[in-house]
């Protein structure tokens, strides 16, 4: 018996990176998973991997910032596997730059994907959870939403917003059996990090600095984040609600950020 046998889940940003890892873990532990991502090929690749180990899922190519696309995606998931009672919003983009270096277009887009996307996915799944009288939602924030980081003004603002949104939803729906939490990963060995490092003047030195500021001397892995999400979304964490859990190896306690 898997922890999530008989449950239906949706994971945004599931075509790659942390979202992919979460979707695959939930499927391995028995959930039927909606693989929601704006990359159709990424969705199909993850679905293929699920099918290889006998998992259940459905590819849901969609832009998380578009209400109609999210509504259609959740309808497809419901028709295929029933009411989604597990949801993880992992979709996110990370433009770089200080406030003065950030264009209005960049600001609007990162908030549309990271924050509006969370709003829209919750708006579609919570009615199903209310009818089922149970649900668990995880919003993937970032340690940048807690301590900030140089050159990530827009991104950091969205990640702080996700922490506050999770707390507000937790209060609103706790009596209906719905829990909402957020996690704040630190520096994780993922494609988002690769893209960020590659954009710097000295990528090799930037990558070295990321390792240097970690209390343990190395950045985190996707699997380490997935382990936390699997616990937090499960019934094993039934008393945890409205929390923001740092998954950063102690980076936020050390209080150092790379100067890039």
Q: Are 47 and 104 in contact (CB under 8 A)?
A: no
Enumerate residues 6+ apart whose C-beta is below 8 A from 68. none
Enumerate residues 6+ apart whose C-beta is below 8 A from 34. 8, 9, 10, 11, 14, 57, 58, 60, 73, 74, 76, 77, 81, 84
- Please confirm, yes or no, whether 78 is among the known catalytic residues: no
User: What is the distance between the terminal CA atoms of the chain, rounded to a whole angstrom?
Assistant: 47
Q: Which of 78, 81, 155, 173 is catalytic?
A: 155
**DSSP letter for each residue of 3-20:** TTTT-EEEEETTTSHHHH
Q: How far apart (Å, rounded) are the C-alpha atoms in residues 190 and 142?
A: 13
Segment holding 230, helix H or strand E: helix 222-233
Q: Which two tokens mark 69?
A: 């696309």
Q: Are 92 and 121 in contact (CB under 8 A)?
A: no
Cα torsion 226, 118, 181, 241 to 10°: value is -150
Q: Which residues are catalytic?
A: 155
């Amino acid at each position: 018996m898997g922890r999530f046998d008989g449950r239906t889940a949706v994971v945004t940003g599931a075509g790659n990176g942390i979202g992919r890892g979460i979707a695959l873990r939930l499927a391995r532990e028995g959930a039927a998973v909606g693989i929601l991502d704006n990359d159709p090929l990424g969705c199909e690749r993850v679905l293929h991997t699920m099918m290889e180990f006998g998992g259940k899922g459905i590819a849901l190519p969609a832009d998380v910032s578009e209400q109609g696309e999210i509504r259609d995606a959740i309808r497809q998931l419901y028709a295929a596997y029933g009411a989604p009672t597990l949801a993880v919003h992992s979709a996110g983009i990370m433009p770089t730059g200080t406030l003065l270096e950030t264009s209005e277009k960049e600001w609007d887009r990162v908030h549309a994907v990271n924050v509006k996307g969370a709003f829209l996915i919750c708006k579609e799944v919570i009615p199903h959870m209310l009818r089922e009288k149970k649900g668990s939602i995880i919003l993937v924030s970032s340690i940048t939403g807690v301590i900030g980081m140089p050159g990530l003004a827009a991104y950091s603002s969205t990640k702080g917003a996700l922490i506050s949104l999770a707390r507000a939803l937790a209060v609103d729906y706790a009596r209906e059996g719905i829990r909402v939490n957020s996690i704040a990963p630190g520096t994780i060995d993922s494609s988002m990090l690769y893209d960020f490092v590659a954009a710097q003047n000295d990528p090799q030195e930037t990558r070295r600095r990321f390792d240097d500021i970690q209390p343990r001397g190395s950045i985190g892995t996707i699997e380490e984040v997935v382990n936390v999400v699997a616990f937090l979304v499960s019934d094993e964490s039934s008393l945890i609600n409205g929390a923001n859990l740092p998954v950063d190896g102690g980076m936020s306690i050390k209080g150092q950020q790379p100067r890039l």
